[in-house]
Structure 1
Amino acid sequence: MAGLREQKKRETKAAIMEAALTLFGERGYENTSIAALARAAGVGKGTIYSYFSSKSEILLAFCEEELTCLHLELQQKVPSDAPLEEKLLLIFMYEFRYVTKNKGFGRTLMREIIFPKELTIEKSQEIESQFIHLFVIMFKEAQEKGQLRCDIELTMTCGHFYALYLMALSAWYSGRLHSEEDVQATLQVMFSQALSGLRPNNALQ
């Protein structure tokens, strides 16, 4: 019986998130009410609030889902001894596909990630810390394998690569990059150039 209740909870939460994905994309975040979300999900307003305290929390749930999927992608598709550049490219291309599967929703999601509302700052920071930790682990492994210098600050390095990703994402949204292939090729060039300055023996060159 408990198993059935848990399954029902998962299905209800998924229905709410699917409704948010559709309505935020079609109407925009600000123009979508909790009542509209409830109707689209086939639940009552009270049910929405029993899962999420605000619309912002619904967006953050997508970030948590993305993190879970990223871990699975790394475990299933990338060998542990793969070059750092390959791992970075896989992570950021996965994030690109996740964010842009609904273009309007993607804008809203990225805005909440970069400029979180005061009510969700603590939760945003928690998700951000998990995301950074994923990169720090990869960077440390690369240092141990001699692929990265050991004198670099890893959290700042993570921020540098994320900034490069945001540049590519912005270029796609503004139409300067036209396809997923363009985004991947752009990221590959930017990551390769950035990593060339972080490898051992390159510091003085």
Structure 2
Amino acid sequence: MSGRREEKKQLTRQAILDAGMRLFSVKGYKNTSITDLAVEAGIGKGTIYSYFTTKQEIFLAFCREQLYLINQDIVRSASCEDHVVDQMMAVFTGTFHFIKQDREFGRLMLRESFFPTEHNLEQSQKIENLYIDMLVPILQRGQERGELRSELDLILVIGHFYGLFLITISAWFTERLASGDDFLETLKTMFYQTMYGLAPA
């Protein structure tokens, strides 16, 4: 019985996320209310609050699931023997293409991921952990191949790369980088600078 109850809970949660994405796409994030989401999902408004406390939390949960699927596809298609930079680029390229689908969604995801409200802290941490779980094995393999020093704190290394991604995505939002190609070229250049340093050889 508990298995059936858990399955029903998962279906209800997914119905909320699906309703959110449909309405956010049609009406826009700002114009979609919790009441709208409840009607679209075919459930009571109170039921939504038993799964999510805010509309932002629903949005971030959707983003996390989508990023997880994107990253799983990347893992399946990428070669584990590729250089660290190429593997890191594959991950962040997937994130960029997700953000690029809708600037409003992308801006909200980044804001709530890095400056979360108290209500959204858990979802933001889940997105952060998604990247840590994805990137640590890439960096460990890079250490084994001698592409990275063995004594490095890999969480700090992830911070380096993620920080560069944020700087570059900010330049894309402000249109200092005019196109997706400009974004990717700039990001790769900055990744290689991080790997090999700025001082003369």
TM norm. shorter chain > 0.5: yes
Give me the whole-angstrom Cα distance separating, in 2, the residues matched to 1:179 and 1:12: 39
TM-score (norm 1): 0.80
Q: The residue matched to 2:81 in structure 1 has which SS?
A: coil
Number of aligned residue pairs: 201
The worse-fitting range, judged by mean Cα deviation, of 172-181 and 77-86 is 172-181
Residue segments in structure 2 that go unaligned for 5+ positions in a row: none
The offset of 1:170, in angstroms, is: 1.2
Task: State how far apart, in whole Å, the 1-side matches of 2:148 and 2:154 are.
Answer: 10
If the length of structure 2 is used for normalisation, what is the TM-score? 0.81
Identity %: 41
CA distance in 1, matches of 2:176, 2:199: 33
Residue aligning to 1:138: 138
Q: What is the deviation of 1:94?
A: 0.4
- Structure 2 residue matching 1:163: 3-state secondary structure: helix
Mapping of residues 1-205 of structure 1, within 5 Å? 13-21=13-21, 23-24=23-24, 29=29, 31-197=31-197, 205=201
Q: Which amino acid aligns with 1:176?
A: R
Which segment is superposed worse, 5-14 or 86-95? 5-14
Q: Could you list the per-position Cα deviations for residues 119-155 of structure 1 after superposition, in whole angstroms to 9, with x for gaps in the alignment?
A: 2323422432332232122111101110112232211
| Paired residues of 1:35 and 1:45 also in contact (CA < 8 A) | yes
Computed over aligned residues only, the root mean square deviation of the Cα atoms, in angstroms, reads: 3.0
Amino acid at match of 2:142: A
Structure with the larger RCO, 1 or 2 (CA within 8 Å, 6+ apart):
1
Question: Deviation at 1:18?
Answer: 4.1
